[in-house]
């Protein structure tokens, strides 16, 4: 079976879970060809991501002229297919917030992708994130490309469901994957009951790199870590407010913000304003091994997000035997349970976040270890990438079998006439 993967930017610093998923599928004997719409090679710091990029073909790297030539070639040799794609691009583009022109560009990208899929003999196209990359996959299918499926992570897909034509994408897809039950419920909102049978929950996961890693004991120190893009929805500004309050109370603690993003300068200004230079450091993007080390050196991972799907870093922290402080948002409560493997607080509440962090700092290491052990067991049971990849492989196989049956019937009719 030959499957192709398409992501808007791949491999991206924060998308190691996709790399793990592909590796698990390949371990099952499935051939996977990687495609990305845009390049992010300049952002890569992890050696594994750099190796993955060498296996990935980037659509926009061919340039505007070649994209235009793809459209012209389709117009000449496959006019009916291009017309179907064009009508669909106009249909979804006119209702979008990006406009028709962007969707004509997506159509050109789809024509290029269609040709590449033929070259690699892919029988199915799977996409991560239901935004523009799934638009390209849908247009590619309308132009005669293979069946497609896509994994929805949230929250962007649900926040912009109408603008990104989420319902249209669900209706035309072979199947859809939600990464948590909350995501499943949100997809149900945006399609008819008849489509629900196509939607499946398959979790993101971690692999043996985490499960087999020697665990380090939780020390008596006061180190906390937050891993993720530095942006509004991750709540790092509120985290700094909580840190200031704890420091004012006399706590000698250390917070490490692992990541980078558009809010970095604002966070640095706040660190200066609050005089937190000795208590908070920002590392920038880190390799996978560095992230593991930062988590292992911490007492707990803190993620005070306002909007999420189900963050993979929570699974990584549990797999490394560290408890988690996070928020009652989206799929997070499906993994994090207050007073069992961590703390859940209302999103946006500095007071509740400060209280949870204070409790974590006061708690004896042996109790924290018990909580972390509970979290690790949850990840083993629900978020093993090898187990989840098998579920995805079954869906790919079913799609492939159905396609083969559909193709074989006309051939049989032709031979009997």
Q: What average pLDDT score do residues 31-56 get?
A: 95
Q: What average pLDDT score do residues 116-125 get?
A: 97
- Which of 45-54, 242-251, 284-293, 395-404 is predicted least confidently? 395-404
Let me know if the fold of 2-205+384-416 is the same as that of 208-382. Answer: yes
Tokens of 204: 């993101």
pLDDT of 217: 80
pLDDT of 406: 55
Q: What is the dihedral of CA 309, 263, 210, 52, to 10 degrees?
A: 90
Buried-state track 83-108, b at ≥16 Cβ within 10 A, e below 16: ebbbebbeebbeebebeeeebbbbbb
pLDDT of 269: 98
pLDDT of 312: 96
The three-class DSSP label of residue 74 is helix
208-382 under CATH 1.10.3720.10, yes or no? no
Ramachandran angles phi, psi of 32, nearest 5° = -120, 125
pLDDT of 407: 42
Q: What average pLDDT score do residues 97-122 get?
A: 97
Q: Tell me: pLDDT of 413 over 70.
A: no
Strands (E), 59-216: 124-128, 148-152, 175-178, 199-201
Q: What average pLDDT score do residues 52-75 get?
A: 96
- Domain boundaries along the sequence of the chain: 2-205+384-416, 208-382
How far, in Å, CA of 366 to CA of 380, rounded? 21
pTM for the whole thing?
Answer: 0.93
HSE-CB for 95 with a 13 A CA cutoff: 13
Q: Tell me: pLDDT of 362 over 50.
A: yes
The number of residues in the chain equals 417
CATH code at 2-205+384-416: 3.40.50.2000
Q: Distance of CA 240 to CAs 72, 226, 246, 303, Å?
A: 54, 11, 10, 12
């Amino acid at each position: 079976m030959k499957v192709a993967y398409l992501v808007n930017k791949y491999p991206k610093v924060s998308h190691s879970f996709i790399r793990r998923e592909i590796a698990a599928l390949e371990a099952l004997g499935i051939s996977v060809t990687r495609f990305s719409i845009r390049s992010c090679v300049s952002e890569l710091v992890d050696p594994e991501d750099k190796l993955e990029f060498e296996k990935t073909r980037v659509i926009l790297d061919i340039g505007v002229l070649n994209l235009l030539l793809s459209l012209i070639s389709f117009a000449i040799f496959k006019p009916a297919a291009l017309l179907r794609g064009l009508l669909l691009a106009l249909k979804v583009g006119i209702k979008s917030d990006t406009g028709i022109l962007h969707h004509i560009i997506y159509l050109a990208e789809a024509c290029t992708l269609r040709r590449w899929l033929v070259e690699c003999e892919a029988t199915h196209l799977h996409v991560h994130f239901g935004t523009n990359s799934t638009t390209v996959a849908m247009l590619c299918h309308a132009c005669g490309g293979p069946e497609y499926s896509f994994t929805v992570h949230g929250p962007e897909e649900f926040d912009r469901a109408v603008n990104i034509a989420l319902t249209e994408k669900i209706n035309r897809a072979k199947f859809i994957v939600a990464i948590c039950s909350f995501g499943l419920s949100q997809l149900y909102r945006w399609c008819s009951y008849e489509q629900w049978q196509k939607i499946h929950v398959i979790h993101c996961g971690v692999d043996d790199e985490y499960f087999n890693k020697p665990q380090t004991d939780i020390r008596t120190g006061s180190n906390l870590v937050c891993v993720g893009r530095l942006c509004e929805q991750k709540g790092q500004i509120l985290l700094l407010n909580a840190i200031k309050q704890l420091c004012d109370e006399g706590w000698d603690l250390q917070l490490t913000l692992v990541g980078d993003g558009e809010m970095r300068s604002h966070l640095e200004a706040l660190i200066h304003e609050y005089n937190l230079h000795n208590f908070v450091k920002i590392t920038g993007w880190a390799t996978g091994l560095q992230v593991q080390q930062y988590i292992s050196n911490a007492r707990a991972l803190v993620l005070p997000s306002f909007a999420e799907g189900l963050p993979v870093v929570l699974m990584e922290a549990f797999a490394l035997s560290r408890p988690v402080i996070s928020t009652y948002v989206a799929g997070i409560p499906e993994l994090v349970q207050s007073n069992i493997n961590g703390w859940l607080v209302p999103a946006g509440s500095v007071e509740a976040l400060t209280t949870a962090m204070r409790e974590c700092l006061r708690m004896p290491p042996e109790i924290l270890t018990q909580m972390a052990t509970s979290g690790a067991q949850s990840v083993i049971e629900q978020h093993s990438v090898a187990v989840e990849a098998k579920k995805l492989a079954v869906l790919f196989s079913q799609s492939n079998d159905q396609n083969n049956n559909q193709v074989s019937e006309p051939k049989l009719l032709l031979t009997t006439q």
